Chain A
Amino acid sequence: MNKLRFIIISIMLFLNFSFFEDILANQKNSENTPQIEKFILVIINSSDLYCSICNDSLIEFNEFLLSKVLNKSRIFVVGILLYKCPPNKKEYERCEKIIKKQLRGFILTNNICFPIVLDKFHVFKEFNKEKSAIIYFDKLNGILKKYMFPLKSNQLEEIFSFTAKIQ
């Protein structure tokens, strides 16, 4: 069942990435601008924002992006923040404002270098049952991998080795 879910999500992600890629390709369609070759999607559970132990991997990954990843312009990284709010409209709006505020504080405090968007329409809600994760997609090398948090050092190294292979 989990495998099936993963396959469905992977297909969904592939479509999403293609969509992102098309947009970016259209935006940067000049010979001098390097093309986006790799996508990294960071799925973040909102509870990780205030759980210091839980967000270690995320912060480590961010530091890794800041310090180790060369050719940043050819890697597209985006964070997706998953959250749950009460169904009642007024409560939902209040809860969403709180989440946005926590996210602002988290980004500022930890110098997060990639954009994080709220999963407002619960596109990634299947992930909500699990921990935060990184999904790495490399169209040219045919790689699609998911890394669940907490990340191990060898997993970070693997992502680093993938990102280093810019063609």
Chain B
Amino acid sequence: MRNFQRSFVIAFIFLSFFSLYCEAKELKGIYLKEILSIGGLENDVLYMWAWVTVDKKGNIYVTDSIDCSIKKFNSEGVLIKKAGGKGQGPGEFLAPRLIFYKEGMLYITDERKRGIEVFDEELNYKFHIPINLPIFNLNILSNGNLVVSVFPLNKNDYGKLLIYDLKGTLKDRVKYCESSNPILDTVKFEIDKKFNFYIIYTWKDKIEKINRKGEKLWSRSLFGKKSIKIKKIGAVKVPVEVIYKDITLDNFGNLFILTGSISKNKSRDVYVLNRDGNLLTTFTLPDSSHCIYIDKNNFLYTRADMGATLKKFLIEYEYR
């Protein structure tokens, strides 16, 4: 036991120094080395996965939007269990989307059902968190509360991230912008260890860092785009060009931002920024994706074959 503790402390010190070393050096490029592929064209393990999350042991959990299920794979990509299924009952789904792992629990949203379904890591259904708003993005704080970006139904919530407890009680709001149009101000976000929020706008060329109080720390645009392409559908004006699709943080605190239809390689180009918002490098995913995810061991997960395949990559950093 003592040996284990000693090894753990040594590993921790080594990783801390390595992290500082990496930060001090200037990043020149990022390369991906594929180490695992789940699904594929010849089997029916994955039909069209929507979102992914990974636990500390490296088990992979996905939502599948065709068979309305959640699936658990081990770190070798073997399907361990499947749960959910189509329906409106507890633990069932109509269109499962986001999935987030935290402390042995899985938090799952459904595009067509309000609230969040909670399962344990063995995929046993546990409870429902009633949140009566469409949820775009989800994260769990260290105190167990949930942070969500939503499509707000009342003006008090425009331009704000909402913080709920596990009973679905609204505890707080974090303002990220002055908003008069909730569609245009749709955002996704990541949270760092210091409780800062990194916000990306789906329809605007805007990436921002705000602190817990909602104070803006910096704001960036990667494409210098000031206007948004709008299409009129009936009486409603809707944006048509996705600027930023998804954001994730690597273990060194760098931001990985997947860009949408605006970039040269649509839904494949990833921009890497440091925590001060400076662009470090870019790289291109082998296949188009709607999401990217980096786990606690710094492996990157992304989509291939229109969701029929999930790819896991080792991130290789090249420094100057």
A28 adjacent to chain B (CB < 8 Å): no
Query: Which single residue of chain B is at the shortest CB-CB distance from A49?
Result: B66
Q: Most B CB atoms within 10 A — which of A53, A98, A101, A110?
A: A101
* Cα separation A53 to B65 with both chains bound (whole Å): 12
Interface of chain A, helix or strand or loop or mixed? Answer: helix
Report, as a range, how many residues of chain A touch the other chain: 10 to 19
* Cα separation A108 to B308 with both chains bound (whole Å): 16
* Cα separation A102 to B64 with both chains bound (whole Å): 11
B48 adjacent to chain A (CB < 8 Å): yes
A19 adjacent to chain B (CB < 8 Å): no
Interface of chain B, helix or strand or loop or mixed? Answer: loop
Query: Across the interface, do B68 and A109 meet the contact criterion of CB distance under 8 Å?
Result: yes
- Mask of A102-130 contacts with B, CB within 8 angstroms, 1/0: 10111011100000000000000000000
* Cα separation A81 to B85 with both chains bound (whole Å): 24
Query: Across the interface, do A94 and B112 meet the contact criterion of CB distance under 8 Å?
Result: no
Query: Across the interface, do B95 and A52 meet the contact criterion of CB distance under 8 Å?
Result: yes
Report, as a range, how many residues of chain B touch the other chain: 20 to 34
Query: Across the interface, do A50 and B41 meet the contact criterion of CB distance under 8 Å?
Result: no
* Cα separation A104 to B112 with both chains bound (whole Å): 22
Contacts A52-B95, A109-B66, A109-B67 given; does A102 touch B47 at CB 8 Å: yes
A97 adjacent to chain B (CB < 8 Å): yes
User: B residues within 8 A CB of A110?
Assistant: 86
User: B residues within 8 A CB of A105?
Assistant: 44, 47-48, 64, 66-67
Query: Across the interface, do B305 and A50 meet the contact criterion of CB distance under 8 Å?
Result: no
A interface, CB within 8 angstroms of B: 49-50, 52-53, 94-95, 97-98, 101-102, 104-106, 108-110
